[in-house]
Structure 1
Amino acid sequence: MTPLHPTAPARPAYFVSDSTGITAETLGSALLANFPGVTFQRHTIPFIDTVEGARNVVRDIQHAKADGAEPIVFATVKSAEILAELTASEAVVIDLLGGHLRELEAALGSTASEQLGQYHGVGDIERYFARMRAVEYAIEHDDGQSMRALDIADVIIIAPSRCGKTPTTMYLALQYGLLVANYPLTDDDFPSDGLPRTVSPYVDKCFGLTTTPLRLSQVRHERRPSSTYSSLAQCTLELRRAEDLYRRNRVPFLNSSTKSVEEMSAVIMQSMRLRS
């Protein structure tokens, strides 16, 4: 039987760059996120720095067009020739740099460099090394593995297991160069009204995460199916204890169930008054 409302085919979305593709994918994805009702088939194509490379991409785009919906191309390329090749394809091409570069040229009274991929460069080398040090710190202090040098942490994320501590920690380190540790709350931490002994001296640095019992149970079930650890009752108990702990110790906290890592990181930085 033919469904009354057939599912629309996924819309091809290409992120094309003359460098790593990180900027194209980040900005393009931020725009696509405003259309939650549309399904996208994503393709990131980096290092398109020749006209021939652009023509190969256009051939892929034309094949995608023949298969169904009109593709969308998010481009971060500085070469006018390469951009012209992409624009000639049967796709909606969104130049993520062009208009902004022209605006900056006008504002600064200077012409933008044509060196490929320059906007993806390290830039401030000290800032780059600070991010690398922050990543090393985050790895060392993930899930309470090390208690060394907690006094220099910018923030200590505390939460029951599988509430999103690690991805949030790594994002804050890599994106902003912040020193972030995270500590898992377990059954052993709850007989006391205070924070776990390891992190209690740094209560002003602590930020808590929580989620919904159902979501936590689903995530834990993928790791340990049909276990007490993943049961709805256990998840409900741990989250209730954690939220009580946060409130008693005046630890700010956030429900991670409906927020992206980027959103959680922004809330943490604002709440803790952190600056990158």
Structure 2
Amino acid sequence: MSVKPLAFIPEHDVAVPARLLVLAQGDSVRPVWVNGVGGMTFRMAEGTARERYVKYAAAGTPESDFAREAERMEWAGRFSPVPEVLERGADEDGSWLSTRAMAGASAVDPVWVARPEQAARAVGIGLRAMHDALPIGSCPFSWSVEDRMAGFEARVASGESPADWGNGYSRFTVDQAREMLGTPPPIDKLVVCHGDACAPNTLLDVDGNFAGHVDLGDIGVADRWADLAVAAWSTEWNYGPGYERLVYEAYGVQPDAERIAYYRMLWDLT
């Protein structure tokens, strides 16, 4: 059975693509994140005024076009703390997106993994801050159920079967899953969702307060539970069981079992 690709902080040396060595112009280059589907993030000029992060994806991988993320980041940056886009480009080997470094560290930095209660609360606080700040009326992007169902159909068309699905979803047939995903619960509240509100994409300052968000390629209008269900779920992957409730408490909502179950299935199968 296949599993969802894992993202992680690299513990060993990662080969730096030749293009990034050119872009570094002599600055230090350190790998800080690998997402398991061909994407890597490098920190350049660490500790200097030129400090920046560069996401890189080899040609032909799922993340080989950063135009989508750059556009969304530039829009969101008018309202909420997100990285400033410096440059993006591509060549025959891959593509890249460079952003100015923000103060703060990922909520899965070892410092915060060792303080999971504080980190989980910051994830909830940060998500609420983003949802409150981003204006749905002027948002040009959508992350609706209808938009996302294309991902499910693409997986099925590729030959994937329920036997490939994890988290207990393999007990459903394709038709059953399609019907379940096609009948979402009523909208609770429309917001501009982050689109990948997992703990690693929340930045915390040195005191553990919310500082910003990264990885914004799927920003769009959707029910707030599309973000909430996954943000809370991610605490189990990153900190262990028992911290989901802190995300909901910090956000200011009571857990909604029906919406949580639906949006986790939508996340996993699309």
Q: Give the TM-score normalised by structure 2.
A: 0.26
Q: Which has the larger radius of gyration?
A: 1
